[in-house]
Amino acid sequence: MYFGCVGGLGEKTTARGFNRATQAKRQTGSAIKPIAILAPGIDKKIFTASTVFIDEDTAFNDGTDDGYHPKNYDGYMGDITVRDAIESSQNVPFVKMMEKLTPKTSMDYLEKMGITTLAESDENLSLALGGLDSGMTVLETAGAYGCIANDGVYIEPTFYTKIENSKGKVVFKTKQKSKKVISKETASIVKNLLKEP
């Protein structure tokens, strides 16, 4: 799997300036749902694509008196399958999925997918909606999605595969780390869910 990385606009003023793709941490929002909830939850057999959750105003226990009240952009839809929840990106069902999965398990999977920017404070239900302490980099997010595309195998992103001298002899070859994170079957299900119209 190949990704592209493009420089910023304007005049180059430094040799090793700030790289937004590899160094900038951003909140992921709903883009985290497939890697933090769908892949781990399906892999652990906690739910399936057809599991039904009730999409309604819900107060989740977060240790405060009022509780955690996530909202949906377009209101509530009642009974909804995981497949339909991903299509419409409903928030409440994903927080319910995270509650069953647990933020700790989700973070374990994210770390196996190459995410290094998670903080201890991210271990809460708002992780389901991308509410992170400092966010994730574009490169690491792309690498985590690559795990799904690579049939469940995480392959560490790199900017080169090999270096050759003027005679075509390989003088250096990258050693990318790779590891199985989710099953091939889980990756196939998540790919199918993400391809829904």
SS3 label, residue 147 = helix
In DSSP notation, 152-185 reads: TEEE---S-SEEE-TTS-EEEE----EEE-S-HH
- Residue 101: the pLDDT is 98
- Residue 159: the pLDDT is 80
The mean per-residue pLDDT over the stretch 189-197 comes to: 88
Convert the pLDDT of each residue in 14-66 to its tens digit: 777 776 677 778 889 999 999 999 999 999 999 999 999 999 999 998 888 88
- Residue 146: the pLDDT is 95
Instruction: Please give the C-alpha separations between residue 30 and each of 25, 94, 132, in angstroms, as whole numbers.
Output: 15, 10, 12
Convert the pLDDT of each residue in 101-157 to its tens digit: 999 999 999 999 999 999 999 999 999 999 899 999 989 999 999 999 999 999 998
- Cβ proximity of 85 and 50 under 8 Å: no
- CA atoms lying within 13 Å on the CB side of residue 37: 31
Q: Residue 1 pLDDT more than 60? A: no
- Cβ proximity of 82 and 53 under 8 Å: yes
| 162 compared with 6, residue with greater pLDDT | 162
Structure tokens belonging to residue 112: 């196996």
Across 102-140, b (16+ Cβ under 10 Å) vs e yields bbebbbebbebbbbebbeeebeebbbbbbbbeebbbbbb
- Residue 170: the pLDDT is 93
Convert the pLDDT of each residue in 175-188 to its tens digit: 888 999 999 999 99
Q: 25 forms bridges with which residues in the sheet?
A: 137
